[in-house]
Amino acid sequence: MEVERLKEIISSSDNFKVTYKNHPVWIESYDTDANIAEVRLLDNQGIEGVYIKDLVDTGQVLGKVKGRR
């Protein structure tokens, strides 16, 4: 994934399906200087630091994010 797309996803009110190594993830935070994102693995709730380029935007919208407009 490109950094600009990650920023769009983070700021969107839509909940996009993002994966890392075929596992669904929630992006917790990111560091564009290091090109790393901290993600929560949704299948086991673990948190990992991963390279932003290794994240995949599936293009699927799963709904709206609560609290975002």
Q: Is residue 35 part of a domain?
A: yes
pTM above 0.75, yes or no: yes
Q: Is residue 40 part of a domain?
A: yes
Bridge-based pairing of strands 55-64 and 47-51 is unpaired
Q: Is residue 39 part of a domain?
A: yes
Task: Give yes or no for residue 68 having a pLDDT over 80.
Answer: no
Q: In the prediction, which pLDDT does 29 show?
A: 96
CATH number at residue 37: 2.30.30
Question: Could you list the residue range(s) of the whole structural domain that residue 34 is in?
Answer: 3-58
Q: In the prediction, which pLDDT does 25 show?
A: 97
Q: How confident is the model at residue 5 (pLDDT cuts 50, 70, 90)?
A: very high
Secondary structure of residue 20 in the 3-state scheme? strand
d(CA 30, CA 36): 6
Query: Which tens digit of pLDDT belongs to each residue from 27-41?
Result: 999 999 999 999 999
Q: Is residue 64 part of a domain?
A: no
Query: Which tens digit of pLDDT belongs to each residue from 34-67?
Result: 999 999 999 998 999 999 999 999 999 888 887 6
Q: How many domains does the chain fold into?
A: 1
